[in-house]
Amino acid sequence: MVEKQGLKKITRFDGRLHIFQRPGTPFWWCGFHHKGSYVRRSTKQIDLTGAIPFAETWFTLQRAEILTGNDTLGGRTVATVAKSALKNLEARVKRGERSPFYLDQIQQNLEKRILPFFGTKSVTKIGVVEWEKFKTHTYAQSPNISRATFHQYKNALRLVLNEAYRNGWLKQLPVIKDEYGSGRVKVPRVWFEPSEYSKLLAAIRKHIKTLKGTRWESDGKELYDYVIFIANSGLRTGEAKNACFRDVSFHREMNDGVNREYLLIRNIRGKRGTGECRTMDGAVAAFNRIVARRGVSDPKTSTEKLFLAYHRDMFNAVLKETGLKWTEELPARKRDLTVLRHTYISFRLLYGANAFDVANNCRTSVQMIQDHYARWLSPRLTKGLNVRKVRESAEIWR
């Protein structure tokens, strides 16, 4: 037995297996070198006579797993690194760098798909080959799973790999790239036509009357103002959830010869970090009603949230009552609260705003506006298409 700096150590199998006891612990450990890493574990034994047979059995099984291609040796597993990654992400949420919703989505994706498949694998073994195996396995369980869902799973896996890389557990980040037969098909965002938007507001007003005298009356009124505020500002649902009274200020501008009042929303926190947003004049009345209903004496200094609840259930109930839950296009697509932002963008384009200004105000890219909004509204926006610069008979077109 060798004793060096308080470490008790013996070897077995020609020195390949080490059995040692660290200072300050009664338990004996065992370990061996493998591909530049040291694989070890506790024997949970305080007596050397019991630790030796345990260590020899463990070493024999580990060698057998190496020969049969077990991927859990020689590095930390995905499950172990995931715990560290989530702990780091929770700290970022507390600092306001990430939203609690993002944390919740990552946790769900890790627990539902990533850890059951990758959990016992070493992070050093994760690459495009393992990712393709994961896709094949997932398609077998859910044949209709979408491309966007796989993208979310990949983001959750990348979070774990980035954590391993930052801590030196992974020397190089793997390139995980999907191959598809064709480019991703651009689809228009779902929005409310002007007539549908008017129908929606009328339905909410009618719904509020049915709630009069109940505990839900104030929620119905807030939903009404929420719809108007978002449809006149283009805020994302997460950004609206974070907005405070003190973030909103009143301003005036001359527009088409009319002096109009608008709101400037600062310190917007959401998907794209922080930013500012200029609303349409329709948001002013909604904001004033919220201030009066909540009894906020000084909105300029109030740190209260602008909206108290996320009225998804009531909004869906109104949509179903009015037949607006699904679009009339084929195949039909369903609407939710995110449609209000899409409605704002579509309205601005229809009424002549350019894509660059809309993109800046909505904290997104011009390309996104072009691909998912403007190109689908282009027949309505095109002027001069039916002009006749050369005299021709209209009869031939009838």
Tell me the pLDDT tens digit for each residue of 35-80.
777 888 889 999 999 999 999 999 998 888 777 765 555 567 899 8
d(CA 82, CA 14): 36
Q: How far apart are CA 359 and CA 316, in angstroms?
A: 28
CATH 3.30.160 for the 2-67 domain, yes or no: yes
Q: Which secondary structure element, helix H or strand E, spans residue 283, and what is its range?
A: helix 282-294
Which pLDDT belongs to residue 196? 94
Look at residue 58 and give its three-state secondary structure: helix
DSSP 8-state class, residue 202:
H
* pLDDT for residue 2: 45
Asked if 318 contacts 204 with a C-beta cutoff of 8 angstroms, the reply is yes
pLDDT at position 345: 94
Q: In this structure, what token pair is assigned to residue 311?
A: 């009225």
Q: Phi and psi at residue 59, in whole multiples of 5°?
A: -65, -40
pLDDT of residue 101: 82
Evaluated on CA atoms 320, 322, 325, 326, the torsion sign reads positive
Q: Where are the domains of the chain?
A: 2-67, 78-166, 194-381
**pTM for the full model?**
0.65
Dist CA 227 CA 245 (whole Å): 17
pLDDT at position 111:
94
**CA 131 – CA 140 distance, rounded (Å):** 14
CATH of domain 194-381: 1.10.443.10
Q: Measure the CA–CA gap between 64 and 279, rounded to whole angstroms.
A: 67
Residues of the chain with pLDDT under 50: 1-2, 394, 397
What's the confidence (pLDDT) of residue 70?
57
Would you say 11 and 19 are in contact if contact means Cβ atoms under 8 Å apart?
Answer: yes
Domain 78-166 has CATH 1.10.150: yes
The pLDDT, as a whole number, for residue 69 is 62
Residues 125 and 112: their CA atoms lie apart, in Å, by 21
Res 140: pLDDT? 93
Is 62 within 8 Å of 32 (Cβ atoms)?
Answer: yes
For residues 345-364, one letter each, b for 16 or more C-beta atoms within 10 angstroms of the residue's C-beta and e for the rest, the string is bbbbbeeeeebeebbbbbbb
